[in-house]
Structure 1
Amino acid sequence: MTTPSSLEPLDLLRGAGYRVTHEVGRGMEGVVAALDGDRVVKVWDRRSRAEVDRLRAFYDAVHEGLQEAGAGLLVPRILDVDEVDGLVVTVHPLVPGRADPAAGPEPVVEVLARLSEVEPRPDMATLPVPDGEQPFDPAVPFGVSMGDLVRRRAVLLGGLLAPGVADALAGALRAVPPVPPRLVHGDLGPVHVLLDGGRPVGLLDFGYVSTLGDPAFDAAVAACLQDMFGPGAAAATAALDDLAVRRLGHDPAVLVLYRAAYGLVTASCLAGHPGRHLDWCLALVTTWAGAV
C-alpha cells in the first residue's frame, strides 16, 4: 500500500503516535497492526471518513444485537476513528480466537444459527449492498431487493451471461416467500469465523453484502465459500447445504438460487478482472440456470 506520505503503514502510524508492534494482516482495504494486547489499529487505503463512520454504527448495532441475543460472538467494533496524512485510521478491540478453514461446516452452521436469532436494529441496514449501490430496505422482502439488484448488476456483465438468464434469476428471487429479516453477514467464509477450542467466538469482515435479510442467503453463500477452488469444493458445499436444510430448515432450491444471485453480483464487481474468481462466480449462476 502506498500512502500519500510514501511511508509504510507501520511507520505512518508510529509517526502519528501509535505504538504499534507488528503487522497483523494486510488485505484489499488496508493494513492491520497490533497496538497492544487488547487492541489493533487499521490504516484504510480507500475508505472515506463517512464510510468508516457508517461502518462504525453498523458494527455497534451488530455488537449490541449479538449481546442481546446471547450469541457469544465478538466483532471488531470501531472504538476510535482518526485521520493521518489523508488516510482513515481506526482502533478496534482484538477479537479472540483463530480461523481454522479445516474445521468443517459445523462451526459455520452454528454461527448461522446464532445470527438468525439476532433481532433487527436500524443501523444493521445502513451499508450499501454492495459498494456503489444503496442499502437494502428491510421493509422490502429480501428476495425482491436481491432481484432488483441482480437486474441492475447484470448490465455490467455484458455478454458474460446467456440471454435471459439475469431476468429469469431476478424473477425467481422476487418469488421467494418473504421471511422476517435477520442479520446477514453476506460473505461468511471459514476465514471469517474465529474459533477457540473448536467453538466460534468471533466474526470478521462484515461489509460486502451485510444487511438485514433472509438467513438462507447467508447459508447459501457460506456453503460455497467453504472451499472455492479445491478438489473437494462440491462436497464441501453439499455438506454445509445438508446441515442448513436439516438443522436450519432452509429450502435446498432457495440455497442454489441465492448462490446464483451472490455469484452474479460478485461477478459484476470483477467484470474487469478476468480469472478464476470471476469464472467461479459465473459458474454459480450457470449451476442454477441448468437446474431450472
Structure 2
Amino acid sequence: MTTDPLATMRAAGLAVTHEVGRGMEGVVAALDDEHVVKLWDRRPRAEVERLRTFYDAVEVGLDRAGASLSVPRILAVEEVAGRVVTVHRRLRGAPAASPGPRAVLDVLEALAQVPATPDLAVLPVPDGEPPFDPDVPFGASLAALVQRRAALLGPALREDVADRMADALRSLALVPPRLVHGDLGHAHVLVEGDRPVGLLDFGYISTVGDPAFDAAVAAALQDMFGPRAAGATADFDQLAVVRFGHEPEVLVLYRAAYGLVTASCLAGHPGRHLDWCLRLVDTWHTPT
C-alpha cells in the first residue's frame, strides 16, 4: 500500500496535481483551479459527513446574514484504502502577511449575525464529547464541559477552580445563540487586501452560543507566544468591548474556560502550548 498522499488520491480517481498544504488532520492537494482534495488521516466517514452537514449550514447562514465569506464546503466524499477523501471548492484569498485585528473583528461581526439552526450544532465539542444542545444555555453547556474535562488535568489544575468556573459560567446572562467558530485565529481568516473573504478550520469547538466566547478566544490567539502576547490580548479585548459591547470580565472567564478545555486535550503532551492554556486559566480570578 502506497504512503504517498497524492497517489492515494489518484487511486480514488482524482487527478490531483500538487500538494498545497498539510495539517493535523490530513493533506490537501490541488485538483484544478476551482477545487482541492483532502486526504484525511484518521477521520471516519461518518464524522466527515457530519462536518459536511455543518459546513453546508455555515454557508447558508453566512449568506443569509449578508456576509461575503466562503468556507471549505465538502462537495464529495470518497474512500480509498480505508481513508476518507473529500473534494472542496478552492477558496480565494490567503492569510494576511501582516495580521492585525481588523479582519478578525470583521469575521466576528459576521458570525454573530448567524442565528442558531440544528445543523450548526451537530459537531462534538470537542472531539470525544457530545454536541452542545442549542436549547441549553451556552454557559450551562460550557460549565458542564469544564467540569468533565477538569478530571483529565489532575494536579495541573488548582483545587476547586473548575467548580468555581462552572458556577460563574452558569450565572452568565442569556444571549441569543449565534454561530461560534471556537478557535478563531488570524491564520484561519483568508483576506484579499485587508478584507476577509474566507474562513477555515471550523471543528474544534464549533457550535452555537455566545459571540463573546469567539471574541475572547480570538484575543488570546492574536499572539500566543510573542513578547507582547498579553498586550495584544488586552488591546483586542478593548476593541471587542467597544465594537460589540462585550463585558471584559466575561471575556476573561470564557478565555479561561477555553484554556481549561484545550489543556485537557493536551494533557498527554506537555510543552509550551499546554503551559499557555493553563496560564489562561490562571488569569481568571473570582471571589471565593
2:272 aligned with 1:276: yes
Contact between 1:125 and 1:138, CA under 8 Å: does it hold in 2?
yes
Match of 1:9 in 2: 5
Contact between 2:26 and 2:39, CA under 8 Å: does it hold in 1?
yes
1:121, distance to aligned residue in structure 2 (A): 1.7
Q: Which of 108, 124, 130 is equivalent to 2:120?
A: 124
Match of 1:223 in 2: 219
TM-score, scaled to structure 1? 0.97
Q: Give runs of aligned pairs for residues 62-73 of structure 1, distance below 5 A.
A: 62-73=58-69
2:23 aligned with 1:30: no
Contact between 1:103 and 1:198, CA under 8 Å: does it hold in 2?
no
Match of 1:242 in 2: 238
| Distance in 1 between residues matched to 2:269 and 2:233, nearest whole Å | 25
CA deviation vs aligned residue, 1:213-245 (integer Å, no higher than 9, x gap): 000000000000011001121121112111110
CA deviation vs aligned residue, 1:128-186 (integer Å, no higher than 9, x gap): 00000000011111001000100000000000011111111111111111100000000
| Distance in 1 between residues matched to 2:287 and 2:253, nearest whole Å | 10
| Distance in 1 between residues matched to 2:106 and 2:248, nearest whole Å | 18
Contact between 1:105 and 1:239, CA under 8 Å: does it hold in 2?
no
Contact between 2:176 and 2:209, CA under 8 Å: does it hold in 1?
yes
| Distance in 1 between residues matched to 2:85 and 2:247, nearest whole Å | 42
Q: Which moved more, 1:204-213 or 1:9-18?
A: 9-18
| Structure 2 residue identity aligned to 1:152 | R
- Count of residues in correspondence between the two structures: 288
Match of 1:157 in 2: 153
| Distance in 1 between residues matched to 2:98 and 2:24, nearest whole Å | 23
| Distance in 2 between residues matched to 1:7 and 1:72, nearest whole Å | 38
Contact between 1:101 and 1:191, CA under 8 Å: does it hold in 2?
no
CA deviation vs aligned residue, 1:69-128 (integer Å, no higher than 9, x gap): 110100000000000110000000011101026221111011000110112221000000
SS at match of 1:202: strand
| Runs of at least 5 residues in structure 2 that lack an aligned partner in the other structure | none
Match of 2:229 in 1: 233
| Distance in 2 between residues matched to 1:264 and 1:114, nearest whole Å | 27
Deviating beyond 6 angstroms after TM superposition, the runs of 4 or more aligned structure 1 residues are none
The alignment yields a C-alpha RMSD, in angstroms, of 1.2
SS at match of 2:285: helix
Q: Give runs of aligned pairs for residues 72-83 of structure 1, distance below 5 A.
A: 72-83=68-79
2:185 aligned with 1:189: yes
| Runs of at least 5 residues in structure 1 that lack an aligned partner in the other structure | none
2:171 aligned with 1:171: no
SS at match of 1:171: helix
Match of 1:48 in 2: 44
| Distance in 1 between residues matched to 2:234 and 2:218, nearest whole Å | 11
| Distance in 2 between residues matched to 1:18 and 1:220, nearest whole Å | 40
1:262, distance to aligned residue in structure 2 (A): 0.2
Match of 2:260 in 1: 264
CA deviation vs aligned residue, 1:240-277 (integer Å, no higher than 9, x gap): 11111000110000000000000000000000000000
TM-score, scaled to structure 2? 0.98
Q: Give runs of aligned pairs for residues 107-118 of structure 1, distance below 5 A.
A: 107-118=103-114
